[in-house]
Structure 1
Amino acid sequence: MTAQNKAVVRRFNKEIIEENNLESFKEIMDPAFINHTAMPGMDKGAAGMLHTFNNILRPAFPDLKVTIYEQVAEGDKVTTFKIISGTHKGTFMGIPATHQPVSIRVMDMVTVRDGKYYEHWGVNTMAALVAELKAINSAEK
């Protein structure tokens, strides 16, 4: 079962985050999904995840790529270390495009139930990226 759960998480990262495949999103997300570490004020359900990808990340980094470096699974939990990378070509968190390569390191844990994303917890380096891009943007002015 752990191998199947890891495959679901790999599929989520490739088909949903990287490729923006909405059919895969509908198929993989459990209707009761909850993101325990959603940004403050964000929807903690599936709609919040989709909003983050389609309205925050993808417009800023249209060439998003997800590279999974490690996955560990036990029972219904899958923990993944990955890097989301791209080029800063659009506004990100109020910061105009710098056209610099970027990366967000992510460690997340997902509960997979019946082949679907049921729960998510994660930590990432998005705040550090914001600070880095602000510094680049200030230096360019």
Structure 2
Amino acid sequence: MSSDANRELVERFYQQVVNERRLDAIDELLSEDFVHNGEQRGREGQRRTYEAFFAGFPDLTSEVVEILAAGDEVAVHRRWTGTHEGLFQGVEPTGRRVEFESTAILRLRDGQIAEYRGVVDLLGLMQQLGAAPAVSF
């Protein structure tokens, strides 16, 4: 696939899976042996990750801040927003509106996302929920 086609596939993944809550799209867009930061999660493992986020933040959405594609890799910086209305990582619902970011490099193979290497600002998210102390340097 071309770099443009790979970029479009990654954008489609986040639009369908996150913004439209179409977890069935995982079966089409992720490889069966999908790897997340070195851990082979497969499709089901990644589906459970999104289910946990959606349980805690039923209105979670994600938007592209920046996206770049080269060959079989796509780098994407995303901004996520949602309201904490359910249990998340042991934290009871706070009703707080949160915003956090993620940056990742995704590797594609045979028209599917095969690997995710990235970071999510979970510390910032947990601070917004009052579950982690503020950090200053």
**Fold equivalence (TM over 0.5):** yes
* TM-score where L is the length of structure 1: 0.85
Instruction: Figure out how many residues of one structure are paired with residues of the other and give that number.
Output: 131
Within 5 Å, which residues of 2 pair with 1:110-121?
A: 110-121=106-117
Task: Determine the structure 2 residue equivalent to 1:122.
Answer: 118
Divergent runs of 4+, >4 A: none
Amino acid at match of 1:33: F
Alignment partners' CA distance in 2, 1:62 and 1:44 = 23
Alignment partners' CA distance in 1, 2:14 and 2:38 = 17
Identity in percent? 28
Is 1:62 matched with 2:63?
no
Shift, 1:135, TM fit: 5.1
**Structure 1 residues 48 and 104: alpha-carbon distance in aligned structure 2, compared to 1, 3 A threshold:** farther
Alignment partners' CA distance in 2, 1:15 and 1:112 = 17
For structure 2, the 5+ residue unaligned runs are: 133-137
Is 1:51 matched with 2:48?
yes
For structure 1, the 5+ residue unaligned runs are: 137-141
The structure richer in helix per residue is 1
Is 1:107 matched with 2:108?
no
Q: CA RMSD in A?
A: 1.7
Alignment partners' CA distance in 1, 2:3 and 2:70 = 6
* TM-score where L is the length of structure 2: 0.87
